[in-house]
Structures are given as C-alpha cells and as structure tokens.
Amino acid sequence: MTANRLSAPVNSEVLEELLARDRKALLGEMIQGVLHNINGPLQNIFMASELLKDQLLHHKKFLCSSGLADNKVIEDVEKQLARIGHIQEGAHN
C-alpha cells in the first residue's frame, strides 16, 4: 500500500506535466497558423506597394524629363512615395 500512495502523487504530477506540454504544443500550432494566415496578405501588400512605387518613380522621371511637371506635382509624387515607404516598413515590423 505504501508504494501505491507514493506512486499516486507522482502519476498525477507526471500527468499534469504532460497536459501542460500538450497545451503549450497546441498553442504553438495555433499561433503558427495565425502568423501564416497574416503573413500572406502582408506579402501581397508589400509586392503591390513595390509595383506602385516603381510606377510612381517612372512617372516622376517622365514628368521631369519632359518638362511637364511643376513643383506641386513632384511634391505630391514624393509624398506618395514616402507613404508607400511607411506602409512597407509597417509590413515588415
């Protein structure tokens, strides 16, 4: 009987430890799934912002070289480029 009394607390401690490990593993899997689901749209945002940035730079060069741009237009393009940069920084952090 003494052996049974000693093994009962040990078994419950081992069981509790196993349950805690299982909960942590499940939580880790859930977090990994959530991060995966968030990362896809963030990558899409980053790629779209890169395309937009390239187009704005192209238009800026065209306007400057053709003499069609005034300072206001160039300032607006530069503001939009800065906004895209902030979006990209936010997507990476």
pLDDT tens digits for range 52-61: 889 988 888 8
Domain residue spans of the chain: 2-92
Tell me if 69 sits within 8 A of 60, measured CB to CB.
yes
pLDDT digits 0-9 by tens, 8-26: 666 888 889 999 999 999 9
Contacts for 87 with CB less than 8 Å, ≥ 6 apart: 45, 49
Q: What is the pLDDT of residue 31?
A: 94
Which pTM was predicted? 0.55
